[in-house]
Amino acid sequence: MNKLICTLLFIGLFSNIIAQENKDMNNFDSSFAHTVYFWFKDDTNENDKDHFEKSLKKFLSNSEYAKTKFIGTAPKASRDVVDGSFTYSLIVTFKSAEAQEAYQNEAAHLVFIEECSHLWDKVIVYDSNGIN
């Protein structure tokens, strides 16, 4: 009887983990993707990077429009087609182009720019509409 109860509890726990992973993947909204690459100035140090990461995370957690929120750094390029010259990347998804436009002017985004724009030398943005 104890083995049966343990087995049922394990199956229930495993099912919840799988369901949560599927729920998290469903949060990616393919309607509109906003991809940003940041190149920092040469004199940027680890304290600056820490400040940038904290400010960016604060901004994203306070954004009322941003859905998927991915922050990354450049991997070691393994192929010629991989551009690993950037310092940070950001991928944010939105329910629409209009939501992304509103995000551009929301207070949290403007504070982030004010707090961190002195750190970067170059920013490139790629916006994409999803093809459903």
* Model confidence, pTM: 0.75
Residue 108 is given by DSSP the state H
List the structure tokens of 75.
């991997």
Span 110-126, pLDDT tens digits: 999 999 999 999 999 99
For 1-59, give the DSSP string. Answer: -HHHHHHHHHHHHHHHHHHHHHHHHHT--TTEEEEEEEEE-TT--HHHHHHHHHHHHHH
Span 59-84, pLDDT tens digits: 999 999 998 889 999 888 778 888 88
Cα(5)–Cα(123) distance, integer angstroms = 56
Span 16-52, pLDDT tens digits: 444 443 344 346 667 899 999 999 999 889 999 999 9
Residues 6+ apart with CB under 8 A from 53: 71
Residues 6+ apart with CB under 8 A from 72: 88, 89, 90, 91
**Are the C-beta atoms of 92 and 66 separated by less than 8 Å?**
yes
